[in-house]
Amino acid sequence: MPTSSSDAGAWFIDGDGWCNMARREVSPNCDERPDGCVTDLLVVHNISLPPGVFGGPYIADLFCNRLDYEADPYFDQLRPLRVSAHFLIRRDGEVVQFVSANRRAWHAGVSVFDGRERCNDFSIGIEVEGTDHEPFAEAQYPALARLTAALRERYALTDVAGHEHIAPVRKTDPGPFFDWGRYRNELAKIIDGAQLRFPAGLVKSQAAGTEKFEK
């Protein structure tokens, strides 16, 4: 559902935590956030199922506990998993929502941000369909920016991080091909970029094993 930048303001999150521009597939892999918890962190992931294969039903099937584990040899190791992000952004820019952003989706696992553990408690997770080994699609960045802006309007978001930043060594996504500068530039077309803090400075990409500069 790619759309033009001029309609960015048409994107919103309703009071129940659902995005009006997202296709909805409801996942059971979620629960209530702790009482009094402020949702202030956005976490960016990447995912492809099977690894390196784009399109198809398998990501949604995994998040909704209906994956056919016999469909690919890789899937056998996924049998114990009960996971879901709040959102998935497909290669063509389509947004799929699995969990209300008001609730806690099971996306981050063991994680720490700014000294706070259990990032699922206070974060919103967005999966961007892709891998650590190739560029993301052009249509994904404006969709991610529009979704981010809509979430910022509804929730007290202050920071954006990659999964690799909150679970270093254990996780590598969104990886060295995710263009943080492009993401910020797209977002700046919609909202004041100063409203959110992004990964900054010279950091080590867990995926690449080399240093990179994240704007």
**Interval 88-101: pLDDT, tens:** 999 999 999 999 99
Rounded Cα distance, 82 and 65, in Å: 7
**Interval 121-154: pLDDT, tens:** 999 999 999 999 999 999 999 999 999 999 999 9
Q: Which one of 25, 94, 127, 186 is the catalytic residue?
A: 127
Output the average pLDDT for the chain: 91
- pTM score, two decimals? 0.91
> Would you call 25 a catalytic residue per the annotation?
no
pLDDT > 90? residue 209:
no
pLDDT > 90? residue 29:
yes
Rounded Cα distance, 25 and 129, in Å: 16
pLDDT > 80? residue 5:
no
Specify the long-range contacts of residues 170-173, CB closer than 8 Å, at least 24 apart.
170/109, 170/110, 171/109, 171/206, 172/132, 172/205, 172/206, 172/207, 173/44, 173/45, 173/46, 173/47, 173/132, 173/207
